[in-house]
Structure 1
């Protein structure tokens, strides 16, 4: 909230770099709030049992990519989203899984190359749970 007030009322006194730092701080605070909300939802889902919901994966993917857009930009990364489906999933858990996968992809990428992260869905025949 304070960062937003400073950007709104004092942005003319800040350099472009200063505005960028405040923007990043605000985005980090939004990510932290989303994490807190997700943790609360997770604790509720553990208490009430996991509830599967028919969910469009492209919506969750877009949200996660938006949440970490600053990190994607900093790494000069490209996120390519291919074919996706709607599935019965626990949205919070899937969102957290994607967030971790994309964040780790950026974090552990070669610093001398721009990362390319490709996300797509496909179907497979056979015993899906046999490999677990």
Structure 2
């Protein structure tokens, strides 16, 4: 899977006490085995969820642009969608801001300032 550089990534942190050398591992929920504590798998799973959201939002915006959203500007539509996404537990705020930015790009719409500002406030420079 080719995950774009601007997709938010959670840092992989491990704190292991003691003076002896250690290896950080995690229990993989699917296989039930211990694996290296790389965030690559988790990032890939999060990316897949976010791409699915983007595809759904693009279809929703195209379907409702001339009816349900007729009185709103494109930026207003995306700002409302971002507010709705932030009220869910579908992903982190930085992921939801990324979803809105990607949706805007895929639609050829202007990216709302709220998605850019949120990204900056959360410490994501990309």
Query: Structure 2 length normalisation: TM-score?
Result: 0.40
Q: Name the structure where helix makes up a greater proportion of residues.
A: 1
Query: Structure 1 length normalisation: TM-score?
Result: 0.39
